[in-house]
């Protein structure tokens, strides 16, 4: 099995949207789809895809705050058939390595939900605040940070 993490390309749009659909409503609210599609089309940050033997099974991005010292994890998901196998961790570690390589960042932020915050805790993020029904009804915001050394 050949596992690759590579930069997102606009040709990956259909596969990325399919991943979101496969993870809705378990991890994402249906009303989040237009925002995700807009995010991908406008290329707000840098995005990456995880492939197994050339097939996209995951994706996730990094964006940057205007302060120049804070990076943010953006929109990450793994195909349900491949969850729990370490691909999400590989993608998270890849994004952290990418952020650290730029050396100007002091903090990494992830804005996630109650469904995935424990995953980010295992990567080293610490919960800062929660806000009920932030993303949609029943989808709470879990705002988390990691200080880089």
Q: What predicted TM-score, i.e. pTM, was given to this entire model?
A: 0.93
Residues of the chain with pLDDT under 50: none
| Most distant pair of Cα atoms in the chain: their distance | 41
| Angle subtended by helix axes 13-22 and 33-42, to nearest 10 | 160
pLDDT at 44 (0 to 100): 79
> What domains are defined for the chain?
3-147 (3.40.630.30)
Q: Hey, is 90 helix, strand or coil?
A: helix
pLDDT at 10 (0 to 100): 95
């Amino acid at each position: 099995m050949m596992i690759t993490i590579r930069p997102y390309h606009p040709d990956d749009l259909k596969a990325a949207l399919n991943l979101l659909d496969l993870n809705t409503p378990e991890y994402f609210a249906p009303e989040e789809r237009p925002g995700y599609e807009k995010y991908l089309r406008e290329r707000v940050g840098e995005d990456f895809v995880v492939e197994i033997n050339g097939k996209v099974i995951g994706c996730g991005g990094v964006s940057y705050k205007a302060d120049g010292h804070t990076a943010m994890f953006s929109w990450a998901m793994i195909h349900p058939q491949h969850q729990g196998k370490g691909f999400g961790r590989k993608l998270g570690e890849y994004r952290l390595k990418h952020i650290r390589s730029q050396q100007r960042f002091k903090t990494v932020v992830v804005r996630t939900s109650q469904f995935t915050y424990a995953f980010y805790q295992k990567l080293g993020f610490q919960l800062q605040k929660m806000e009920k029904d932030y993303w949609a009804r029943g989808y709470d915001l879990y705002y988390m940070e990691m200080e880089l050394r």
